[in-house]
Amino acid sequence: MLGAWLIYRFGNRLGLQDIPNHRSSHDYVVPKGGGIGILAAFVVSAVFSGLDKSFWIPAFILSLVSFIGDRTEIKPALRLIVQFGCSLVFLGSFFHQDQGILIYILVLPLAVYITGTANFYNFMDGINGIAGITGITGFFLLSVYGYVSDASFNYILLSTAMAFACAGFLPFNIPKAKVFMGDIGSVLLGFVFACIVILLSDSFLSFICLTGFLFPFYADVLTTMWVRIKNKESLKQPHRKHVYQILANGYGITHWKISTGYGGLQLAVGIAVIFLKEFGYIPVLSVLTTSFACFSVFSVILRKNMEKNPRG
């Protein structure tokens, strides 16, 4: 909360301004970089919990690079290199734990997963409240899962701290934004979420369940990517074609309602997979597949209605 307040007061003087353009879902200048408080909460919690430096130092470096990106333009290729490198540093800690050859085979896919989740979270941070509410819900679900599965208390503590950090930021971002989280917050949240998922996973089924705690973000980004590829659009080109953007800009729905809806869907799917995990793969995959199919159909209907009756 203190971090968000500092950026709210001094962000404009520091050149941390989000000036609206044709892709924006806001129409006034807002300071960005309020996620610096979330970074501070993460570092303090990680150090206090005694977590390995191979976890929190890469996350800290990634956040600093993202903070620079909030102030000045950084080429996407450089961002990806830094993100992928930080992911490999984190995963490298497993090499010292005698995990066998399997971990070596999984390193690259897991690095792609961490990097992808960090970017997905960043892509979805486009309207008031959505990143904060999703952070509260996602890390709360990780905490609950860690508790019921008797995981290390350090991971439960960190997940809980991240949920509270998002809650501290949220009053400055909803219902009307006084400050934006910025890349320093959104990229960090995605990175840390993915890392905790890997740390808590003791099987592939666990990994699937834990990944489902961020279901609405994955579903929105993946369906939007599919639509853009189908329309032969460059994925490098900026846009505002995510479902949440269509709801806000095309249908004029208030930001906090959309953000709360995403949080509600996230909570429902998360609770369902936690409950069904003990019954095995089929129930868990059935819930996730059905939820994704419903989200995809909803996405198609929204887009078709927009094509027939464009409103923004």
296, pLDDT greater than 50: yes
Backbone dihedral angles phi then psi of residue 17, each to the nearest 5 degrees: -120, 135
* 203 Rama sector, left if φ>0, alpha if ψ -120 to 50, beta otherwise: beta
Domain that holds residue 160: 2-308
Sign of CA dihedral 154, 121, 259, 261: negative
Count of beta carbons in the 10 Å neighbourhood of residue 124: 25
Lowest mean pLDDT among 11-20, 159-168, 265-274: 11-20
Tell me the pLDDT tens digit for each residue of 89-129. Answer: 999 876 655 555 556 678 889 999 999 999 999 999 989 99
pTM of the model: 0.91
Q: How many domains does the chain have?
A: 1
Q: Which residue has the tokens 């952070």?
A: 135
Residue 25 is predicted with a pLDDT of: 54
Residue 104 Cα to chain centre, angstroms? 26
pLDDT of residue 310: 61
Percentage of the chain lying above the pLDDT 90 cut: 63
Read off the pLDDT of residues 279-288 as tens digits, 9 standing for 90 and up.
999 999 999 9
Token pair for residue 77? 């290729």
| Averaged confidence pLDDT in the chain | 88
Per-residue pLDDT, 89: 92
Burial class (CB in 10 A: 0-12, 13-18, 19+), 76: exposed
- pLDDT at 18 exceeding the cut of 70: no
Cα distance between residue 22 and residue 121, in whole Å: 21
Region 8-22: mean pLDDT is 70
State which amino acid sits at residue 184: I
For the record, the structure tokens of 195 come out as 């890392």
In 3D space, the residue among 12, 112, 92, 104 whose CA is nearest the CA of residue 52 turns out to be: 92
- pLDDT tens digits, residue range 44-95? 999 998 888 989 999 999 999 988 877 777 888 899 999 999 999 999 876 6
pLDDT bin (cut points 50, 70, 90) of residue 27 is low
